[in-house]
Amino acid sequence: MAAKIHPSTTIIFCTFLFVSSMASAMAKEQPFATNLDPKVLRLKKEKLTHFHMYWHDVVGGSKPGDKPTSFKVLPALRLNDTTNFGLVNIFDNPLTVGPEPESQLVGKSQGLYASASQDQFGLLMAMNFAFTYGKYNGSTITILGRNAILDTVREMPVIGGSGRFRFARGYAQARTHFVNFTSLDAIVEYNIYVLHY
């Protein structure tokens, strides 16, 4: 004759199994976030650096032989829309010390701009300023923000970077230096203020 097991014994046994399995699972779980001392990453005192350069957006080419650096990947959503709402361009634009295309090349601005306003010329800019010259060679600054291109001065946030600009933050000011309304080529002056380690 089989022995009877009291219901409370079953409950205690099941509770023991549940607690044991939870403890085992918790022991195997690895943390995915830990607090670090900034010195571990060799972060020292934060610096403020000012960059001044020119961004050359060649869409159609103002002169014979100009090679486009900016390409339309999506047209405007509506024909005859004065703001070109929905237009998206991808670019790989030269960054130079002076406004002349032949001046010292310091890097490339790579990213996209999209016409994101239905009632004015307002672009969403997402771009990396990838430096190829001097001590910043190989480092990038990332800018993401609104560019109301008809305003005299536009301000966009610096949201990060890489290399010498890890943990970077700051802002960029853009001023149109030149625009050709036929070819849509533009040269934009950038002043960028970056806090970084």
- Whether 83 and 118 have beta carbons less than 8 Å apart is answered as yes
Q: How far is CA 139 from CA 23, 61, 149, 175, in A?
A: 46, 29, 27, 24
Helix-, strand-, coil-residue percentages of the chain, each rounded to 5: 15, 45, 40
> What is the domain partition of the chain in residue ranges?
42-196
Specify whether domain 42-196 bears CATH 3.40.50.300.
no
b/e sequence 99-132, b meaning 16+ C-beta within 10 Å? eebeeeebbbbbbbbbbbbeeeebbbbbbbbbbe
pLDDT in tens, 132-156: 999 999 999 999 999 999 999 999 9
pTM of the model: 0.80
In whole angstroms, give the CA distance from residue 82 to residue 163: 40
User: How long a stretch of residues is the chain?
Assistant: 197
Q: Are the beta carbons of 161 and 190 closer than 8 angstroms?
A: no
**Other beta carbons less than 10 A from residue 91's beta carbon:** 21
Q: What is the pLDDT of residues 26-76, one digit of tens each?
A: 556 667 788 878 778 778 889 999 999 999 999 987 777 789 999 999 999
